[in-house]
Chain A
């Protein structure tokens, strides 16, 4: 069982009671997680871990010291506290240091579900067993991963702050490959609640994609209309938002910097169809109710009708710029449209359907130009129909350009991106989309 609110409070109270600093903040994180991997249609490794860590930050004016400890008896807590105080005294003043928060008001959310917290090794084995059985029946070779976890985070300060929240996550993903090595399919999901995870359904999706993607033909790189499945779109969304820091923008070193000074808040940056926000209470991607400094998380708009509404403001930068700090978001929601996936395909004269992206890395922060590859199912669309599998390609594109070229979207859903964004930590909810003139730069032989 993971630590309860009472257990967490007892520890943070005890840790704070040992402090001799002017102010102190303590943060407790940890929990339990267990996983099972499989490959070559057989179980490979499997493990479980249990652990907690307490970070103690002691402050004297603008001097701070932080120590982490995983031992919680009185002697260990006192040693850690003294060490934090010692380093705080040694440390130079940090003019950007912010005082600890006092009591905050949090809106209750529910990111914890008993079924995920109670998942057994036998459940994980049965989830994997189902995929292996289906793979053998359909003559593909599968590899994958199932993980269940339950965690807590708590924060307390000598100024009276106390916050505690708990969460669960159940993740399942797999790749099915045809024995001749010419076809590969993938599916991945993460939910807070175990019962929403459907291992057999995911296995079926991956296996069917593997069969459909067999014997791909090469097509010329260039500009194509793309239908991006939600897992592919999620990576573009993540890369667009990873660089949305207000300070970087104010300092002139971001796409979000305004020429001559300031930020581009208020400017139309992408298609008016685009709305991006965070909401810890979103039913598809619920998260904890506060960030790692104890700031309350609430619904917050980043992009509305394509207009940039806000950037991430740290407490220091917000104070300096006379803005409200934005708590570090724990989910990203991109609203979708009313089309179905079939309609996105049917409305494409010539284009490609993308299952997922892979190995995406920034090329130019001035334009958020990124590069990556397609993987595990790339299909040619001709006259509104998927006609055949095509070979993977590298693409060089900016999410800003892509989000300007959005034609149509499906409804949004909970998704894990090809790069793995969207599991616990940062839930992602987004649609599939049809996007014009997406730039592919070279061919890849990889299957």
Chain B
């Protein structure tokens, strides 16, 4: 699930530490030779303590957040976090320990601690760990960015954010604007007793804003968020997105919401823009195709899945138009990387083929549970201090064969609504019943967009919804959406993931008016 509250709270915590930091690197990341020495020390200590398998991740995370509101810079916050985690299998049982003190002595202590933890749990482990085989890899993989945001000065970023503030507040009736940029560099080194030594640097960028229009007389207010998405790209994404135009449009639409027509209630044809549909894909396709959920490993928190293993290869998930791909190699995807946190080379594989459920997302320790001999490379840990487990790759809906435009789909619709941008989102713990809102809503009558609507949500059931998909836009309508804060596991870990899709149409979907 996307943990928006945790994301907001982390922003608040950062906001409380008012200030800024230049992009100079505080901790020099050790050179490859030293990383290898540290890693080898961990693997040797684990082996000596009795581990049959060990891996170590030595990771450094840099974040930059720049917050502005109403033409003022509120905060520029740079964070840096550095540490290591050692994972072992001893007596067939997983153990893990970690520390922010990256020294050879501490690494040896922590490796021993990981083995001791595994041994303490041996008596209650009824399923000895079995790892799918993996080739040893030695190599480097970096997000192919044109402009590394951490190498750029602050001033152009501040200037652009101020311009966004200006553009939005110029619109009569726009009351407030908050605009921010977030940049992430996840630099990690992985080594395992299977012989891998892998170094990766993953860069992600996200510019966004919210415009609020308050009407003091009526006491009503409406917000409109930017339709931007976080991306596995550098600053070139920020520069290529028409942010000023989007700020103007957002402000105009927030103001117009006060006079928009109340949403209808009942069954309607629903046209979803990629800026909305990505989140519906995330919740209704991404999560139920996670193997750990289907097998009960997440039953206590994130939940299980209606896509139980007996449905694999035969369950009719959607209409024949629906082809959904898992892909950790997708260009600009937030989950894109060279190797996962099990050291498995990343791949692309179908989850839903011609409407039929055909595969799960897997890791090395769970692939064998459905008779597969190799992992799909979906292991990830959000910190050096977190235990890797199965996390979602980029999961995307393929565009239609014909290159239909958004206008073609609207033109073919007699009575419907068009939804853009992601809003409220909620789905049950087996991923059947969901309810999503959006940023803007539009009435479609006789092939034309007629007027703006407000207070709308759609509610459906996953297989019914996907079976009702009757039109797909073509490649030219395809966009990536995504989130930094997909939450899963205990303690909760976040995962960055993208979802690509075209404009798509669904018939007879239940629409609600959400005004009380």
Question: Is A bound to B?
Answer: yes
Tell me, in angstroms, the Cα distance from A128 to B93 when the chains sit together. 15
User: Which of the 9-residue segments B218-226, B313-321, B323-331, B336-344 touches chain A?
Assistant: B218-226
- Contact A129–B490 (Cβ < 8 Å): no
- Contact B296–A143 (Cβ < 8 Å): yes
B346 at the interface (CB under 8 A from A): no
- Contact A121–B94 (Cβ < 8 Å): no
CB distance from A340 to the nearest CB of B (A): 28
Report the nearest A residue to B98, measured CB to CB: A49
B359-409 residues with Cβ-Cβ distance < 8 A to A are 385-387, 389
- Contact A67–B299 (Cβ < 8 Å): no
Q: What A residues does B96 contact at CB under 8 A?
A: 45-48
- Contact A141–B73 (Cβ < 8 Å): no
Question: What sequence of 0s and 1s flags, for each residue 156-179 of chain A, a beta carbon within 8 Å of any chain B beta carbon?
Answer: 000000000000000001110100
Tell me, in angstroms, the Cα distance from A68 to B60 when the chains sit together. 13
- Contact A83–B24 (Cβ < 8 Å): yes
CB distance from B354 to the nearest CB of A (A): 25
- Contact B98–A47 (Cβ < 8 Å): yes
- Contact A394–B428 (Cβ < 8 Å): yes
Q: What B residues does A369 contact at CB under 8 A?
A: 514, 516
- Contact B1–A359 (Cβ < 8 Å): yes
| Majority secondary structure, B binding face | mixed
Tell me, in angstroms, the Cα distance from A364 to B17 when the chains sit together. 30
The interface centre, meaning the residue of B94, B218, B490 with most chain A CB atoms within 10 A of its CB, is B490
- Contact A121–B22 (Cβ < 8 Å): no
A108 at the interface (CB under 8 A from B): no
- Contact B433–A394 (Cβ < 8 Å): yes
- Contact A375–B429 (Cβ < 8 Å): yes
Question: What sequence of 0s and 1s flags, for each residue 475-513 of chain B, a beta carbon within 8 Å of any chain A beta carbon?
Answer: 000000000000000111000000000000000001010
Q: Given A39-B296, A57-B17, check contact A122 B120 (CB 8 Å).
A: yes
A412-446 residues with Cβ-Cβ distance < 8 A to B are 419-420, 441-446
What is the interface size of chain B, counting residues whose CB is below 8 A from a CB of the partner? Answer: 100
- Contact B214–A252 (Cβ < 8 Å): yes
B304-319 residues with Cβ-Cβ distance < 8 A to A are 304, 306, 308
Q: What A residues does B289 contact at CB under 8 A?
A: none
The interface centre, meaning the residue of B26, B113, B124, B386 with most chain A CB atoms within 10 A of its CB, is B124
B163 at the interface (CB under 8 A from A): no
A31-60 residues with Cβ-Cβ distance < 8 A to B are 33-53, 55, 57-59
Report the nearest A residue to B60, measured CB to CB: A70
B435 at the interface (CB under 8 A from A): yes
- Contact B300–A174 (Cβ < 8 Å): yes
Q: What B residues does A98 contact at CB under 8 A?
A: 18
B45 at the interface (CB under 8 A from A): no
- Contact B83–A51 (Cβ < 8 Å): yes
What is the interface size of chain A, counting residues whose CB is below 8 A from a CB of the partner? Answer: 112
Q: Given A43-B124, A49-B97, A363-B514, check contact A372 B490 (CB 8 Å).
A: no
- Contact A43–B214 (Cβ < 8 Å): no
User: Which of the 9-residue segments A11-19, A190-198, A211-219, A257-265 touches chain B?
Assistant: A257-265
Q: Given A48-B113, A125-B121, A394-B435, check contact A35 B18 (CB 8 Å).
A: no
- Contact B99–A53 (Cβ < 8 Å): no
A398 at the interface (CB under 8 A from B): yes
- Contact B16–A46 (Cβ < 8 Å): no
A2 at the interface (CB under 8 A from B): no
- Contact B433–A372 (Cβ < 8 Å): no
CB distance from A181 to the nearest CB of B (A): 8
- Contact A145–B301 (Cβ < 8 Å): yes
- Contact A251–B433 (Cβ < 8 Å): no
Tell me, in angstroms, the Cα distance from A38 to B431 when the chains sit together. 22
- Contact A260–B74 (Cβ < 8 Å): no
Q: Given A129-B123, A445-B432, A446-B432, check contact A86 B512 (CB 8 Å).
A: no
Question: What sequence of 0s and 1s flags, for each residue 399-433 of chain B, a beta carbon within 8 Å of any chain A beta carbon?
Answer: 00000000000000000000000001111111111
Tell me, in angstroms, the Cα distance from A14 to B221 when the chains sit together. 49
- Contact B73–A48 (Cβ < 8 Å): no
Tell me, in angstroms, the Cα distance from A129 to B165 when the chains sit together. 56
User: Which of the 9-residue segments B33-41, B131-139, B143-151, B454-462 touches chain A?
Assistant: B454-462
CB distance from B85 to the nearest CB of A (A): 8
B455-471 residues with Cβ-Cβ distance < 8 A to A are 455, 457, 459, 461
- Contact A43–B121 (Cβ < 8 Å): yes
B21 at the interface (CB under 8 A from A): yes
- Contact A90–B216 (Cβ < 8 Å): no
Tell me, in angstroms, the Cα distance from A44 to B5 when the chains sit together. 27
Q: Given A46-B121, A358-B429, check contact A259 B83 (CB 8 Å).
A: no
Cβ-neighbour of A444 out of B24, B296, B432, B455 (below 8 A): B432
- Contact A46–B428 (Cβ < 8 Å): no
CB distance from B516 to the nearest CB of A (A): 4
- Contact A143–B457 (Cβ < 8 Å): no
Cβ-neighbour of A446 out of B72, B100, B126, B306 (below 8 A): B306
- Contact B424–A143 (Cβ < 8 Å): no
- Contact A70–B175 (Cβ < 8 Å): no
- B-to-A contact residues, CB < 8 Å: 1, 4-5, 13, 16-22, 24, 26-27, 72-83, 85, 93-101, 113-114, 116-118, 120-121, 123-127, 154, 158, 175-176, 212, 214, 216-221, 223, 295-301, 303-304, 306, 308, 385-387, 389, 424-433, 435, 437, 455, 457, 459, 461, 490-492, 510, 512, 514-516
Listed by A's residue number, 16 A-B pairs whose Cβ atoms lie within 8 Å are: A35-B491, A40-B295, A42-B126, A49-B99, A66-B19, A67-B19, A79-B26, A121-B120, A125-B121, A125-B123, A141-B296, A174-B300, A177-B296, A253-B212, A364-B515, A375-B303
Contacts beyond the supplied A45-B389, A50-B98: 9 A-B pairs with Cβ under 8 Å: A39-B300, A46-B96, A49-B85, A147-B490, A253-B214, A259-B218, A359-B427, A375-B303, A442-B433
- A-to-B contact residues, CB < 8 Å: 27, 30, 33-53, 55, 57-59, 64-71, 76, 79-80, 83-84, 86-88, 90-92, 94-98, 120-122, 124-125, 128-129, 132, 141, 143-145, 147, 173-175, 177, 181, 184, 186, 242, 251-253, 257-261, 292-293, 328, 358-367, 369, 371-373, 375, 392, 394, 396, 398, 401, 419-420, 441-447
